[in-house]
Structure 1
Amino acid sequence: MADPNPTVGELFKAKVVTHDDLNALVDAVLGGRMEERAELGEGDTVDVAAAVKANAFATAVLRDKTSTTGTRRTAARTAILQARAQKA
């Protein structure tokens, strides 16, 4: 039986979430526009703010004003990919 709450990374591998979808979520994090829930494909959502807050590394990197843009993007992307999606 398939996991009812797959990670965003699993949805990405299954091509439910596209590169553009993922990049838009990362851009939202870096732009400070994290909404409570972001829509993913096939009726799934992810709480991007909670995903970043739950990842200690991403939180530390995003708070560090000396972090490079690439490091910030990678940290946000990793936190999002590890987050569990929820059915809408």
Structure 2
Amino acid sequence: MARDPATVSELRKAAEVTDQEVDAAVDAVLADLATEAFPLAKGWALDLVETLRTKTRAAEALTTDKPAWKRNMVQTAILLANPIKG
């Protein structure tokens, strides 16, 4: 059985993605959800629109007026996402 590409969390543990790069992706989502190909780190890219589309709890959090909740849910969605090497 083929394994899915690494998640952002796994790449972070392997030191291929930094906390600052994850924070930058979260900031990009909160600033402009239309960002699709976000350059994450060292050749890794993340489709932020697709990430939020597949993580409905994070998408729902964006409609609230609770900034900390939005940020935490978006960060969780990004950490669980599978970036593309490119």
**Smaller-chain TM-score bracket:** 0.7 to 0.9
Please identify runs of 4+ aligned residues in structure 1 that moved more than 4 A: none
Listed as ranges, the gaps of 5+ residues in structure 1 are: none
RMSD: 1.6
CA distance in 2, matches of 1:34, 1:22: 17
Q: Deviations over 1:3-33 (max 9, x none)?
A: 6721111111111111110111111111125
Q: Structure 1 residues 34 and 12, CA, compared in 2 at 3 Å: closer, same or farther? A: farther
Listed as ranges, the gaps of 5+ residues in structure 2 are: none
TM-score of the superposed pair, with normalisation by structure 1: 0.84
Percentage of pairs with the same residue: 32
The structure with more strand, counted as a fraction of residues: 2
What residue in structure 2 maps to residue 41 of structure 1? 41
Number of residues paired by the alignment? Answer: 84
TM-score of the superposed pair, with normalisation by structure 2: 0.86
